[in-house]
A and B are shown apart, each in its own frame.
Chain A
Amino acid sequence: MKQVLQVEDMSVTFELHQSEVHAVREMNFSLAQGETLAVVGESGSGKSQAFLAIMGLLAKNGRAEGRAMMGDINLIGMEPKQLDKHRGKDIAMIFQDPMTSLNPTLKIKTQLSEVLVKHRGFEQSQAVKSATEMLERVGIPEPAKRANAYPHELSGGMRQRVMIAMALLCQPKILIADEPTTALDVTVQAQMLDLFKTLTEDFGTALVLITHDLGVVAGVADRMMVMYGGRAVEKGTTDDLFYDPRHPYTLGLLHSTPHIAKRAERLDPIQGLPPSLEHLPKGCSFNPRCAFAFDRCLVERPPLAPTGNGREKACHYEGPMAYGKVA
């Protein structure tokens, strides 16, 4: 399978007044054409910042290092002008909050058509026509009428559909969706995931799905990368990670997700709080919350290493894992 994105040794650092925060460290992964990669982790695990860095959208005090190779071009550290030739065309992004991600003062058709005018050199009228077709494709009823509307005249679900249409206009190689369903109703979430699945398949677009919702991952993703404290802690296929998690944190995440087949018991949350990136614990970042931590975990940070079968994990513990009440 052809790789469309190869991230090597990427790190993201934020400069604060007195100190530096390492939001992402030593990130390595590749993304094959047409596949769906889920990036999973709690708030503050660095999952969003990693992809904002790839898009060149870090806040002013943020700095990215390493490589994110799209073909033979490195997106990290690229001049904004050069980056603008690829953003929106080869690599597109959808954000968490559809309510604020569209410009309230511009009509939908303006916000869509400008992408085609910029990247495809379309005439305005032609661009509006294509944009309207794309709106129909993402399941917006009466697309011609909606194209003339302003964002506040549409519901949240409709706006997220507009965002999807906007991101897919140029049929990008890579689509990054940052918590695309978090702000939506549960019923709308499912529709939205179906839409992602269908459209990325149609266009051969590789999808990165950033989320903390494992329910979202299960139905859609081919592979998963679990992040904790700015680092990837486990990688593998979705099936492997769901049925046979090897990292205690992945296991914890799975247990803290409601399960329809199980009796309604109390959920089993992971104890403790996500770590502050400014003061990560010594050794393994997860050790204060880990049920399996032993003395080595307190002093030596486990590297992300292959465990066979194309899987990787960053954990010293090799024994069997029983968790809480669920043995």
Chain B
Amino acid sequence: MVGYVTRRVLSAIPIALIAVTACFFILRLAPGGPFDGERALPPTTLANLRAHYNLDLPLIQQYFIYVGRLLQGDFGPSMVYNDFTVAEMLWIGLPFTLMLGFSAFIIGTIVGLVAGALSAVNQNKWPDYMLVFLVMIGLVVPNFLMAAIMQLVFGVYLDWFPAGGWQAGSIPHLVLPITVLVLPHAGRTARLMRGSMIEVLGTNYVRTAKSKGLGQRLILARHAIKPALLPVVSYLGPGLSYLLTGSLVVEQVFALPGIGKYFISAALNRDYGLVLGTTILYMFIILAVNLLVDILYAWLDPKVRYS
């Protein structure tokens, strides 16, 4: 097991390096630069600025300088918010975004698993039809539209929750944004769980368990859940990345102080350092979650362990 985890951690290093490289060059392919504005800067000022941020060097050299700094944990300066380094900017927005994302992730996963399992056990009866209907709604309505509907219905008409904004520590402010994030994630998770649970309940080994007279509860808890979780667990990694990217939009719509605002404006402003820093951080989070998923997978499926 230790060997397996070590191998997985080591294999994440080249993946991270490839991702950083790809981000760096793709960003530079985009037209424009951080100092383009409504009014062109005087040429000498522009030249000084570019020299200051090493933008006058050949691209490949800039790349090595960036990676070199990154390896020392330095994300570099923000090119638009001159007074801040990228690390400082991230530190302002990231904790909130992660709190929002992971809350939605945990709630959505649990809701999805329970709903999917209930659906499967009651296959083709009314609780199943109802859940499948709700899941479809969660899946097909895009989050920016769902956010607007939520704001209108629960924020304005019913006035149950604030329609936007943030006060430190206020849970009511979080209810609507988290709901909007939870719906599609829970929907996808439930759909996968329903399908795989139905499949598992039809397997020969569940029939064997029935023939042993174990009773439905024990069969579900001991024999069906673990194998049914396998396909769901492998979805959780990509699922989290959907959720985190979705949260960038949701933060904007609900005017929440996360990293989303900076990320979107940084991309528009070509604030190279900030876009790269945010992307790389997200990448590390997703790599870490995928690693956790793989470890969980090995625990669920004994066949994976030694390979």
Contact = CB atoms under 8 A, between A and B. Distances in A.
Nearest to B301: A105
User: Which of A56, A106, A115, A166 has most chain B Cβ within 10 Å?
Assistant: A106
Given A103-B227, A105-B227, A114-B222, A150 B302 contact: yes
B138 to A, nearest CB: 28
Interface string A88-99: 110011010100
B203 interface: yes
Interface string A101-119: 1111110001000110011
Contacts of A81: 215
Contact of B213 (A84, A95, A97, A104): A84
A251 B41 CA distance: 102
Contacts of B218: 114, 118
Interface in B177-219: 203-205, 207-216, 218
Contact of A101 (B204, B216, B301): B204
A150 to B, nearest CB: 4
A104 B302 CA distance: 8
B240 to A, nearest CB: 24
A106 B223 contact: yes
B249 interface: no
B191 to A, nearest CB: 21
B216 A92 contact: no
Contacts of B205: 100-104
A118 B303 contact: no
B123 to A, nearest CB: 9
Interface residues of A, number: 32
Contacts of B213: 83-89, 115, 118-119
A219 interface: no
B131 interface: no
A118 B214 contact: yes
Interface in B32-79: none
Interface residues of B, number: 22
A87 B210 contact: yes
Given A97-B204, A150-B303, A152-B302, A105 B226 contact: yes
B300 interface: yes
B-side interface mostly: helix
B14 to A, nearest CB: 31
Contacts of A215: none
A55 interface: yes
A214 B93 CA distance: 75
Given A95-B207, A114-B212, A118-B212, A104 B223 contact: no
Nearest to B300: A105
Contacts of B216: 80
A299 interface: no
A118 B303 CA distance: 28
A92 B211 contact: yes
Contacts of B226: 105-106
B211 A55 contact: yes
B301 A93 contact: no
Interface string A70-90: 000000000011011111110
Contact of B203 (A86, A100, A106, A118): A100
Contacts of B207: 57, 95, 101
Contact of A105 (B208, B211, B302): B302
Given A88-B213, A101-B207, 6 more contacts: A95-B211, A105-B227, A106-B223, A115-B213, A118-B215, A118-B218
- Top-8 shortest CB links A-B: A87-B213, A88-B212, A88-B213, A84-B213, A100-B204, A150-B302, A103-B205, A105-B226
28 contacts: A57-B207, A80-B215, A83-B213, A84-B214, A85-B213, A87-B210, A87-B213, A88-B213, A92-B211, A95-B207, A95-B208, A100-B205, A101-B205, A101-B207, A101-B208, A104-B302, A105-B227, A105-B300, A114-B222, A115-B212, A118-B212, A118-B215, A118-B218, A119-B213, A150-B302, A152-B302, A152-B303, A166-B212
Interface of B: 203-205, 207-216, 218, 222-223, 226-227, 300-303
